[in-house]
Structure 1
Amino acid sequence: MTPDGGGAVAGCAGERERERERSARAALTRILEPGEEHGGRWLREFGAEGLLALLTSKDCLEGVLTGATERRVRGLRARAVGMEPERDLDAVQALGGRFIVPGDPEWPSQLNDLGDARPVGLWVRGLPDLRKWALRSVAVVGARACTPYGAHMAATLGSGLAERGWVVVSGAAFGVDGSAHRGALAAGGATVAVLACGVDVAYPRGHGTLIGRIVEQGLVIGELPPGGHPTPSRFVLRNRVIAALTRGTVVVEAEHRSGSLVTARSAQRLGRYTIGVPGPATSGLSAGVHDLLRGEGVLVTDAAEVVELIGAMGELAPAHTGPVLPRDLLDPAGRRVLEALPARGAAHGQDVARDAGTTVDEALGKLYELHSLGFVERVGEGWRLTLTAKRGSNARRGGA
C-alpha cells in the first residue's frame, strides 16, 4: 500500500472514531444531567464509548463508577432504555444544527475550565462558528421581572456591545435576558442564547419569535438533546456555561436570591470579569447587584465601560465630564480677577487687584478683556458682574 493510501485509510479510521465518540456523547446527554461532576469524572476515566458501554451493560458497577450508588446506577440505566442517539443527531441536523464535542474545531476551549463539570457536548443551531464568537463575548444577565430601567439598561448594553463588535450572550429568559438579546439584534449584531432545554424547544413560549430571530442572526446552544425540557436545576446549571463561555458577566438588576448572581459567582470562580450595573438603593431588584459591587464586582454604566474592562489594551471609555462653561476657557489670571468681583454691587480696580493678588495694571487689563467677553461691565468708576457671569458662577457651584 502506498503512503498516500495508508494516510487515507488512517484518516477514514480517525473520522469513524470521531463519529463513534460523537454518537456516544450524544447518547450521554440523555443519560447524564448537565454539570454532573461524577459523570464528568467517569467520562474522563472511561471515555464516552466506555462509559456508555458500562451504563448500558447489566454488569454490577459497584466500585467501578466512583461515587455511584446502586440506586443512582439504576436511574442512569433507566434513562438509557430506548436511547437512539442517531435519531437525535438527525433531528438537530434537520433543523440546520449540529452537535459539537470537545476536540472539534468549533469547541470553545474555555469551557474546559469547568473541569469535570464541562458539558458532555453542545447542541447548536445557527450558522456562525461558536468558538470564534466566544473569543469576543460578554454575558448580560439579570432579573426576569425587571423594571423598565433594567430593561432599558440591558437593551442599551446589548446594542452598545454589538456595535463595538462584541457578542452578547444571555439565557433568552424574560426580562433582562430578552432585552439584551433584542438590543444586540436591533444593532445588527451578534448574540448567543444558552438554553436550559433542547435547542428545538422555544422556552419560554412567549419568546418563540425572539429565539427564532436569534437562530437566524446568531446562535442558540444547549446541553440537552432535542426535545429536552427545562427544570429549575437545569436553569441554575446552565448559568455555569454562560459564565465560562464569555470574557465577563454583566448583571443588570438582581435580587439577593437570583440565578444571575449564580452566573456572576461562577464567573468569579473561573477568573472572569464580574460586572454590575447599579440601580436605586431602595429597589429590591438592585440589592443583589449592589452586594456584588461591594465585593469583587466592578461598576459600569454603559457599554464603553464594559469594553474598557474586558477588551484589548487601548479600548478606553470616553472620560465623563460635566458641561464646559465659558469661564472654564479663561486663563488663570482672568479667572482670579473674575472671582475677585463681588456677587452683588461693584468694586474698584484696586480692590479687585488686591483680592486677586495681582497689580492694579494687570487687574485693569484683565477687566477690560472680561468686559469684551461679556463677563463684566463698568459702573461709574467701578466694575461688576453681568447677569451671564452670575449664572455661570451659580452653575459652577451647583456642579461642585
Structure 2
Amino acid sequence: MSALDRTITASSAALAAVRPSSDDLEPRDLAAAAILGFVSEPGDGVLGRLVAALGAARVAEEILAGRPGGEVTAVAVERGAAVSVHEVSAGLQRWRPRLDHAAFARGLGQAARVGARLVLPADADWPDALRDLDVHAPLTLWVRGRADALAETPSIALVGARAATRYGEHVAIEAAAGLVDRGIAVVSGGAYGIDGTAHRSAMASSGTTVAFLAGGVDRFYPVGHDALLTQIARTGAVVSEMPCGAAPTRWRFLQRNRLIAAAAQATVVLEAGMRSGSLNTAGHAAALGRPLGAVPGPVTSPASAGCHRLLREFDAVCVTDAAQMAELVGTVPVGDTAPVDRDGRPAPHDRAVEGLTSDERRVLDALGVRRVRTVVDLAQRAGLDTGAVLGALGALDATGLARRLDDGWVRRHSA
C-alpha cells in the first residue's frame, strides 16, 4: 500500500465529513488536495507547477514517499513542468517537515466540528475567477457557510483601512448597501474598519457577502469579529485556503489579499493610508487586470493618502458612490455617454428612465434588485404617501423598470 493510500485509509471518515454525501470525487484526489494544502504555504508557485504537470495525487505521493528532488524533477519536466532541481528540492524541504499526520487528522476533525466544507477546483462552487492566479491559485478552499456564494457574480471587493475614520465608514456603508441593491456581491477580508463595515452593511441590505481569512476558518480572526463572521457564515461565506488549525501570519495576510482581488470582478479601495494593507490588494487587482477603483478623501487626511496615490500613480478610477463602482463591472453604463440604439437615439431602457416623473424616479431609487420591498417600505424610503408609491409602481411596471412579486416589489436588473 502506498503512503498516500495509507493516509486515505487513516483519514477517510474525517475527509468524508467535510464533503457532501453525494460527492463523487476520487478519494485519492480528495486526500491529495487536502494534504498539499496542509503542507504548503499560500501561493506556492513551485507546487502549483508540479500539480499542473503531474496532478495532485501524484505530487502528494512523491512528497509522502520521500523521493529525492532530482527524481521528482525529472518526472515533472518530462510532463512539461517548468521547474528546476533546485526549486523542487527546496520545495520538498519546505513541505516534508510539515507532514504531521496527527495534526492533519486534528485539522480535519476540527473542520467537521465547525461545519467547514472542503471545496476543490473541480467543484461547481469553485470561483472560476481564481484560475487567473494560474500556478499561484489555491489548491483547496475551506468554506463555512454557502459554498455557492463563492461563485456568485457580479462581485466587487470593498477594502480599506483598519483604523477607518467616520468618513470612511460612511462611504463603506453607502457603497455596500448600494452594490447589493444592484445585485452585486461584496467581497472583503473580515478585518476591523472598512472591511467589517462593508460586510455589515451588505448583510443589513440582505445581500451576499464573502469574507476571506488568512488563517483557518475554525478560529475566526480577528477575535473581536467572531460574531460578525459567524453571521456572515449564516448568509454568505467565510473562506480560507489555510486548513483548520492554521494561524494567521503577516505572509498569509498578504497572500490572502490575492484571493480577495482575484475572486471579485473589481476592487475598490474606500479609505487607505500610505502603508495600508489594502494597497497590497489593489496591487494584486492591477496585476490581474481587474478594474480598480479608489474613493478620494480630504487632501489633508492621511487616512486617504493611499487612495490618492492609487489615483495618481496606478490609474485607479475615481469612484464616489455605488453607481460608479458598479460601472467597474459593467452593471451600469460606463462613462458619461448613455447607450444608444442604431439610430443614435438613447436606448429603450434609458428613454424609459428619462421619461419618469419625480415621484417615479424616487420610487425607482428606493427599489432594490435583490431585496423585495413592500409599498410601506418604499413610501418610507422615497418620502411619499402609499398612494403616490402605488401610482409610481404601476408606471414603473408598465415600462419594464420594476416588477411585482408575491411579497413586494423589486427593480429589474436592467434598471
What corresponds to 1:22 in structure 2?
30
**CA gap 1:164/1:318 in 2 versus in 1, 3 angstroms:** farther
Assess if the C-alpha contact under 8 Å between 1:62 and 1:68 holds in 2: no
* Cα distance in 2 for residues equivalent to 1:75 and 1:300: 43
Q: Give the CA deviation at 1:188.
A: 1.5
What corresponds to 2:326 in structure 1?
307
Secondary structure at 2:196 match in 1: helix
* Cα distance in 2 for residues equivalent to 1:120 and 1:71: 19
Assess if the C-alpha contact under 8 Å between 1:27 and 1:84 holds in 2: no
Q: Which has the larger radius of gyration?
A: 1
Question: Among 171, 196, 201, which residue is 2:219 paired with?
Answer: 201
Secondary structure at 2:101 match in 1: coil
Assess if the C-alpha contact under 8 Å between 1:157 and 1:303 holds in 2: yes
Assess if the C-alpha contact under 8 Å between 2:189 and 2:211 holds in 1: yes
**CA gap 1:235/1:315 in 2 versus in 1, 3 angstroms:** same
Q: Give the CA deviation at 1:92.
A: 2.7
Structure 1 residue identity aligned to 2:311: L
Secondary structure at 1:68 match in 2: helix
> Do residues 152 (structure 1) and 152 (structure 2) align?
no
Q: Give the CA deviation at 1:109.
A: 1.2
Assess if the C-alpha contact under 8 Å between 2:294 and 2:316 holds in 1: yes
What corresponds to 1:264 in structure 2?
282
> Do residues 80 (structure 1) and 99 (structure 2) align?
yes
* Cα distance in 1 for residues equivalent to 2:147 and 2:89: 43
List alignment gaps of at least 5 residues for structure 2: 1-22, 74-83, 339-415
What corresponds to 2:409 in structure 1?
none
Structure 2 residue identity aligned to 1:160: G
Q: Give the CA deviation at 1:273.
A: 0.7
What corresponds to 2:39 in structure 1?
31
Assess if the C-alpha contact under 8 Å between 1:236 and 1:262 holds in 2: yes
Secondary structure at 1:25 match in 2: helix
**CA gap 1:160/1:313 in 2 versus in 1, 3 angstroms:** closer
What corresponds to 1:296 in structure 2?
315
Q: How many residues align?
A: 305
Q: Give the CA deviation at 1:231.
A: 0.1
**1:313-368 CA deviation, whole Å, 9 max, x = no partner?**
5589999xxxxxxxxxxxxxxxxxxxxxxxxxxxxxxxxxxxxxxxxxxxxxxxxx
> Do residues 61 (structure 1) and 69 (structure 2) align?
yes
**CA gap 1:88/1:317 in 2 versus in 1, 3 angstroms:** farther
> TM-score scaled by structure 2?
0.69
Assess if the C-alpha contact under 8 Å between 2:179 and 2:185 holds in 1: yes
Assess if the C-alpha contact under 8 Å between 2:62 and 2:72 holds in 1: no
What corresponds to 2:144 in structure 1?
125
**CA gap 1:52/1:226 in 2 versus in 1, 3 angstroms:** same
Structure 1 residue identity aligned to 2:94: G
Misfit runs of 4+, over 6 Å:
315-319
> Do residues 214 (structure 1) and 206 (structure 2) align?
no
What corresponds to 1:105 in structure 2?
124
* Cα distance in 2 for residues equivalent to 1:37 and 1:69: 11
Secondary structure at 2:55 match in 1: helix
Q: CA RMSD in A?
A: 2.4
**1:145-194 CA deviation, whole Å, 9 max, x = no partner?**
11111111112211111122111100000111001101111112110000
* Cα distance in 2 for residues equivalent to 1:34 and 1:201: 18
* Cα distance in 1 for residues equivalent to 2:119 and 2:49: 20
* Cα distance in 1 for residues equivalent to 2:206 and 2:39: 38
Q: Give the CA deviation at 1:69.
A: 6.5
Assess if the C-alpha contact under 8 Å between 2:272 and 2:306 holds in 1: yes
Assess if the C-alpha contact under 8 Å between 1:141 and 1:171 holds in 2: yes
Secondary structure at 2:176 match in 1: helix
> Do residues 174 (structure 1) and 192 (structure 2) align?
yes
* Cα distance in 2 for residues equivalent to 1:310 and 1:138: 8
What corresponds to 1:224 in structure 2?
242
Assess if the C-alpha contact under 8 Å between 2:271 and 2:307 holds in 1: yes
Assess if the C-alpha contact under 8 Å between 1:107 and 1:130 holds in 2: no
Q: Give the CA deviation at 1:296.
A: 1.4
Which stretch has the larger CA shift, 89-98 or 123-132?
Answer: 89-98
Assess if the C-alpha contact under 8 Å between 1:193 and 1:221 holds in 2: yes
* Cα distance in 2 for residues equivalent to 1:64 and 1:82: 22
Structure 2 residue identity aligned to 1:227: G
What corresponds to 1:342 in structure 2?
none
What corresponds to 2:54 in structure 1?
46
Structure 1 residue identity aligned to 2:87: A
Q: Give the CA deviation at 1:72.
A: 4.7
List alignment gaps of at least 5 residues for structure 1: 1-14, 320-400
Assess if the C-alpha contact under 8 Å between 1:253 and 1:288 holds in 2: yes
**1:204-238 CA deviation, whole Å, 9 max, x = no partner?**
00000000110111111100111211000100000
Secondary structure at 1:180 match in 2: helix
Secondary structure at 2:328 match in 1: helix
* Cα distance in 2 for residues equivalent to 1:244 and 1:75: 26
* Cα distance in 2 for residues equivalent to 1:274 and 1:316: 15
